[in-house]
A = this chain, B = another copy of it.
Amino acid sequence: MNMIIRSSDIAQWERFYRANFINSLTAYKPAVLIGTQNGEGLHNLAIFSNVFHLGADPALIGYIQRPIGQSGHTYTNIKETGYYTMNLVHEEIVEKAHYSSARFDKGVSEFEETNLTAEYIDGFLAPFVKESKIKFGLEFVQEIPIELNNTIMVIGKINVVQIEEDMVESDGNIDAASAKIVATLGLEKYMQVGNFIKLPYANVKGK
């Protein structure tokens, strides 16, 4: 049975119930590990789902940084060094990737704590996740503060990509499903994804 929920209801909900509901309302999001290092070379790794395509030419990717509190090393490292990596999560590394979200003590590298392996590619100045099958390095280009809720949109330009050759189809599409890349739903769920249907650029029928 359909039910109607109004903003006044949502405002009164218990905090975690509301977070779960609103975070899952747009359904599926990417599961991305962001790798950084600070000026002393200490690594950081954190999982993000609010990552989105901003444009293909130039190739720009955005992510939403939550308000900086005790955590937020991803953001401070990006600001300090100017570089970061995004590493897609596949089924075999889901638990390790999720564990990166625990609040470790300061000075601890999430790479070590999660047993994911830091690797450097092509001289790029931030660590990648060796186990990830689709990963790219970004150069910080702009941050846009969103004053409504004290978040920040962080924009990066793609500098380098590492991917297995046979995952790239002849038209440039990436076969994420055969690489067993997962999607996220809400804050706690990781989802298996399978190919379904490919629909070419839509033209008006009968024209």
Other-chain residue from B6, B26, B122, B203 in contact with A159 (beta carbon distance below 8 A): B6
**Smallest Cβ-Cβ distance to A139: which chain B residue:** B7
Complex Cα distance, B4 from A165, in Å, reads: 9
Complex Cα distance, B94 from A50, in Å, reads: 24
The reply to whether B191 and A21 contact each other, CB–CB distance below 8 Å, is no
Other-chain residue from B4, B26, B151, B168 in contact with A121 (beta carbon distance below 8 A): B4
Q: How many copies does the complex hold?
A: 2
Other-chain residue from B13, B60, B158 in contact with A172 (beta carbon distance below 8 A): B13
The reply to whether B174 and A21 contact each other, CB–CB distance below 8 Å, is yes
Q: Does A200 contact B (CB under 8 A)?
A: yes
**Assuming the A-B contacts A27-B30, A50-B53, A195-B189, are A16 and B183 also in contact, with contact meaning beta carbons closer than 8 angstroms in the complex?**
no
Sampled A-B contacts (23; CB under 8 Å): A1-B166, A4-B122, A7-B160, A10-B161, A16-B172, A18-B172, A21-B56, A22-B59, A23-B56, A24-B173, A24-B174, A25-B161, A25-B174, A27-B30, A27-B181, A29-B52, A101-B201, A102-B204, A113-B204, A188-B198, A192-B193, A192-B196, A193-B194
Task: Please name the 3 residue pairs, one residue from A and one from B, whose CB atoms are nearest each other, closest first.
Answer: A20-B172, A17-B172, A22-B56
